[in-house]
Copies of this chain bind each other. A is one copy, B any other.
Amino acid sequence: MPTEREDRLIETLFARHSADGDDVLIGPGDDAALLRCPPGEQLLITIDTLNEGMHFPAGTPAHSVGYRALAVSLSDLAAMAARPLWAVVTLSVPVADEDWLGGFADGLYALADEHGLRVVGGDFVRGPLSITVTAHGFAREDAVLRRGGAGAGDGIWVSGFLGDAAAGLEVLKQNLARNVSSPRDHRDSSEERLVRRFCYPQPRIELGRRLSGIATACMDLSDGLLMDLPRLLRMSGLQGRVETESLPISGALRDYAGPDDSRRLALAGGDDYELCFAVPEEEEARLEALPDELQFTRIGNLYEGEGLVLTRDGQPWEPPDSGFRHFS
């Protein structure tokens, strides 16, 4: 039950994007937003909730919280090759601290503006710190990528580097415990680069759209490769073999964690929001022809069967303490 002052805060927070009369007929401030859907395309909807203490540590800078909350949902749209268009947001906060709320909104709108997405509605409630974003995108039905659809013989690929965000979260927690200033103020050390990878994940919208027609299946990596890849394997009805030597590990992660822990983090660490996708051999030339800045790495192959098999030096291999057996 917001007071009139909170009504005005909401207007400030969630009404930086007002109705434009083009696709947004009614924006924030009424009971619902009214929107004109682009003709000839289908609507994609995804919803995600981030809870303080669960999805980000207490004390994470407000700017990062706002940015990440939207990034997580946009990453789902990226995985399905959609063009993001609109989002609605609810923010639950224990107290209405205007500085915090301003930082949150700055982070949220920074990412929205990067992708030309409009925030068309929001709700603001009292409670434990938590953010829910529902993101809306569009794509032609035949251009959409799914988790199912990969074929035996396809390569397994991932974008970017894996494990950085999990290491960044470790560093962020240490910094917060030692009361070290917010990540945006640090020198550009390896640790700082890792923290930034946790705080500012980059939804791979451009890559997702370019993969349409090349990849046979796609998903984003939110819970880590060991948790997520089996979901794609189940939906496609296949076995995956991942060569652990091929996992893309950044210099920053190797500096921070050394080779063994880097591999462990690249397999089991969450929050990278990279894409994992399957590409048949005959499409590899088109994949390799994509612009260099859309970085991706082949990490293994798909076979008839089920489950995920890891290899090292060509032999089946299980990481010592990752709880891997549980998810295979």
- Taking Cβ atoms with an 8 Å cutoff, the residues of A that contact B are 1-4, 7, 25-26, 29-37, 39, 42-51, 53-55, 76-77, 79-80, 82, 86, 88-90, 92, 120-123, 125-128, 130, 132, 134, 136-137, 139, 141, 144, 146-148, 219-220, 223-224, 227, 230-231, 235, 270, 326-327
- Pick from B31, B146, B147, B327: contact of A220, CB under 8 Å: B31
Nearest-neighbour CB distance to chain B for A328, whole angstroms, equals 10
Q: Is A127 within 8 A of B130, CB to CB? A: yes
**A34 cross-chain contacts in B, Cβ below 8 A:** 42-44, 80, 139, 141, 144
Nearest-neighbour CB distance to chain B for A125, whole angstroms, equals 5
**A79 cross-chain contacts in B, Cβ below 8 A:** 31-32
- Pick from B36, B88, B90: contact of A42, CB under 8 Å: B36
* Further contacts, 12 of them, CB under 8 A, given A32-B45, A49-B92: A4-B230, A25-B42, A31-B220, A33-B46, A34-B43, A34-B80, A39-B39, A45-B136, A47-B123, A51-B125, A53-B127, A128-B128
Nearest-neighbour CB distance to chain B for A176, whole angstroms, equals 19
**A32 cross-chain contacts in B, Cβ below 8 A:** 44-46, 76-77, 79-80, 82, 137
Cα–Cα distance between A112 and B125 once the two chains are bound (Å)? 24
**A120 cross-chain contacts in B, Cβ below 8 A:** 45
**A134 cross-chain contacts in B, Cβ below 8 A:** 45, 47, 88, 134
| Contact A54 B130, CB 8 Å, known A37-B43, A45-B121, A90-B49 | no
- Pick from B7, B139, B219, B327: contact of A31, CB under 8 Å: B219
Cα–Cα distance between A246 and B125 once the two chains are bound (Å)? 32
Q: Is B2 within 8 A of A223, CB to CB? A: yes
**A139 cross-chain contacts in B, Cβ below 8 A:** 34
Q: Is B49 within 8 A of A33, CB to CB? A: no
Cα–Cα distance between A224 and B51 once the two chains are bound (Å)? 29
**A1 cross-chain contacts in B, Cβ below 8 A:** 223-224, 227, 270
28 interchain pairs, CB-CB under 8 A = A3-B326, A4-B230, A4-B327, A25-B141, A26-B144, A26-B146, A30-B148, A31-B77, A31-B79, A31-B80, A32-B45, A32-B82, A33-B44, A34-B43, A34-B80, A35-B42, A35-B44, A37-B42, A39-B39, A43-B43, A47-B89, A47-B134, A49-B92, A50-B125, A51-B128, A53-B127, A54-B125, A134-B134
Nearest-neighbour CB distance to chain B for A58, whole angstroms, equals 13
**A25 cross-chain contacts in B, Cβ below 8 A:** 42, 141
Cα–Cα distance between A56 and B46 once the two chains are bound (Å)? 26
Nearest-neighbour CB distance to chain B for A270, whole angstroms, equals 6
- Pick from B31, B36, B53, B137: contact of A76, CB under 8 Å: B31
Nearest-neighbour CB distance to chain B for A130, whole angstroms, equals 6
